[in-house]
Amino acid sequence: MPDYLSDHVHLSDDGTAVVILDQTCLPNRTIYRTLRTAKEMFDAIHTLQVRGAPAIGICAAYDLYVLAQQISARSAEDFLRQLQGQADDLCASRPTAVNLSWALARMMQTAAAHDTVPEMLSALHRECLAIHREDIAMCRAIAEHGLSLIRDGDGILTHCNAGPLATSRYGTALGPLFLGHERGMHFHVYADETRPLLQGARLTSYELSRSGIDVTLICDNMASLVMKNGWIQACFVGCDRVAANGDTANKIGTSGVAILAAHYRIPFYVLGPTSTIDLSCSTGADIPIELRDPSEIKEKFYTEPMALPEVKCYNPAFDVTDHSLISGIVTEYGICRAPYTESLRAVFEKKRAAQSLSDEGRK
């Protein structure tokens, strides 16, 4: 896998800044940006310079560590108060992806577990690196489980981007394809362009093509035809938040793909780490859906507007796929099947058991 697909969010060499590959410039330009200020970090997440739920979480953890180094505090309590303010501001950059709030809460808990500012800074440094390492391991495990669902020569349809750029190393929805490709398997991937921000066109087809995986780019409204033609054996998508009943928020248009897949009796799989599962959300109705600027529909990527200024736009960033349309939710601890209220809780029991064994091993 090319280096730029696996090292797109990291700390600077001196640890005082976060370096990201600006995804808004792809596929035509490869530009790295160095984030040092709270505004630069907020804007990087809000404007999708860094995107994909796991990548956002990794970036936010690094961001908070860098910002922590800039705090001048009279006491440990004052330090924690200021750090919480920075975390709250970062958390407001994008409301739907639960990894953002999850990573920031984990960093805050880490800081609060120590008594002095130097201890807190040291612990925050260790924790942000751990979050990134764990995501790499999670993506590999998800790739292994996902690969068991497909065969050599299958046609796979994917929506939006859930590859290395959205996570780390293998990615989630694309992880099984990269892993299978490494092992000599061949797939034909159909990538929805993913309107209005074209993550499928700009990012997914870029990742797959650069890695030597056979990919065909299609418009979103062509998915039904390629399914009807018999070219698709499975649909793989990522997720930004999974509710306790299995309802899943992902990039706008995902629920439409799931409905089409159900009609054509094609399995539809959601792939993501357990950090994306939010058991505090009972159903998809509890997931906040981000509304974005109408200009993304009317003007972005066009040399001139494609609609009159007075035309209203509705531009939700995500939709929610009903759990009844999902064939399985693939996590680093295994594949969850319906009923998801039971299997998702069971996978968290596996996670707790694994973490307990790991903690015992470190003692």
Cα dist. 59→2, 42, 99, 236 in Å?
20, 10, 10, 24
| Domain contains 14 | yes
Q: What is the SS3 assignment for the chain?
A: CCHHHCCCEEECCCCCCEEEECHHHCCCCCCEEEECCHHHHHHHHHCCCCCCHHHHHHHHHHHHHHHHHCCCCCCHHHHHHHHHHHHHHHHCCCCCCHHHHHHHHHHHHHHHCCCCHHHHHHHHHHHHHHHHHHHHHHHHHHHHHHHCCCCCCCEEEECCCCCHHHCCCCCCCCHHHHHHHHCCCCCEEEEECCCCCCHHHHHHHHHHHHCCCEEEEECHHHHHHHHHCCCCCEEEECCCEEECCCCEEEECCHHHHHHHHHHCCCCEEEECCHHHEECCCCCHHHCCCCECCCHHHHCCCCCCCCCCCCCCCCCECEEEECHHHCCEEEECCEEECCCHHHHHHHHHHHHHHHHHHHHHHHC
Active-site residue, selected from the candidate residues 154, 192, 240, 247: 240
CA distance 285 to 335: 24
Residue 252 shares a structural domain with residue 349:
yes
pLDDT at 3: 61
pLDDT at 96: 80
| Domain contains 64 | yes
Residue 164 shares a structural domain with residue 296:
yes
| C-alpha dihedral sign at 253, 98, 163, 315 | positive
Residue 251 shares a structural domain with residue 163:
yes
Mean of the per-residue pLDDT values of the chain = 95
CA distance 124 to 12: 15
Residue 192 shares a structural domain with residue 169:
yes
pLDDT digits over 88-147, tens only? 999 999 988 789 999 999 999 999 999 999 999 999 999 999 999 999 999 999 999 999
Residue 107 shares a structural domain with residue 203:
no
Residue 178 shares a structural domain with residue 102:
no
pLDDT digits over 178-219, tens only? 999 999 999 999 999 999 999 999 999 999 999 999 999 999
In the chain, the number of structural domains is 2
| Domain contains 144 | no
Residue 277 shares a structural domain with residue 354:
yes
240 is catalytic: yes
Domain span at 286: 151-362
Residue 20 shares a structural domain with residue 106:
yes
| Domain contains 146 | no
The domain spanning residue 293 has which CATH number? Answer: 3.40.50.10470
Question: Given pLDDT bands bounded at 50, 70 and 90, which one contains residue 148?
Answer: very high
Q: Count of CB atoms within 10 A of residue 84's CB?
A: 15
Residue 187 shares a structural domain with residue 83:
no
CA distance 183 to 174: 15
pTM (two decimals): 0.89
